[in-house]
Amino acid sequence: MAVKLLFVCLGNICRSPAAENLMNYLVDQRGLQGQIECDSAGTGAYHVGEPPDRRMSAAATQHPGIVLQGRARQFSSADFTEFDVILAMDRDNYWGILARDPDRKYRDKVRMICDFCHQHPLKEVPDPYYGGPEGFQQTIELLLDACNGLIDELIDEGKVAAP
């Protein structure tokens, strides 16, 4: 059975759809098709139904083969049982997710995505929404590092088989 990953940010139009689509790209690149399934959601409902932000898509397409797909949806408590690992982009997202788990039953499923970075020292993926294009490019670079690190860890733990 595939490992099911859910990437979560605030609006589900910038960071988490980028993470979802980058991870799908890396799964293909690394020959792991069928072993990892991805989705994304936002803790907020402001952008539900919207496609990824144009600026985020523009930054992603600078990497050949990466196209951002999907529509924003809000995180729900049903996601705790649906997914194996829930990846928060920043601390606010982390606590926004755990706010839906008052008994802390699923706390171990919820992780900060930057904990999987090998190259970048940042501990959170900064919110690029109100900034310039460099913030969107930084999001892509950080997420590539984190998603590759996460795949490495899933392989090390035996949850994903190296090709």
Catalytic residues: 9, 15, 127
**Quick check: 12 binds ligand 4NP (CB under 6 A)?**
yes
Distances (CA, A) of 50 to 5, 41, 70, 147: 21, 12, 8, 24
Cβ nearer to ligand 4NP, comparing 10 with 26 = 10
**Quick check: 106 binds ligand 4NP (CB under 6 A)?**
no
Q: Which of 15, 88, 114, 136 binds ligand 4NP (CB under 6 A)?
A: 15
**Quick check: 140 binds ligand 4NP (CB under 6 A)?**
no
**Quick check: 11 binds ligand 4NP (CB under 6 A)?**
yes
Among positions 46-75, residues that touch ligand 4NP (CB under 6 A) are 46-47
Tokens for 152?
Answer: 């490495």
Q: Closest Cα partner for 151 from 12, 19, 36? A: 36
Count of residues in contact with ligand 4NP, rule CB under 6 A: 12
**Quick check: 142 binds ligand 4NP (CB under 6 A)?**
no
Q: Which of 3, 5, 10, 143 binds ligand 4NP (CB under 6 A)?
A: 10
Name the minimum Å distance from CB 125 to ligand 4NP.
Answer: 8
Distances (CA, A) of 38 to 76, 104, 121: 16, 23, 25
Does residue 49 come out as left (phi exceeding 0), alpha (psi in the -120 to 50 range) or beta?
left
User: Please, what is the Cα angle at 73 between 92 and 135, to 5 degrees?
Assistant: 50
Give the bridge partners for 6, in sequence order: 39, 86
Q: Which of 3, 6, 13, 143 binds ligand 4NP (CB under 6 A)?
A: 13
Does residue 86 come out as left (phi exceeding 0), alpha (psi in the -120 to 50 range) or beta?
beta
Name the minimum Å distance from CB 83 to ligand 4NP.
Answer: 18
Binding region for ligand 4NP (CB under 6 A)? 9-15, 42, 46-47, 127, 129
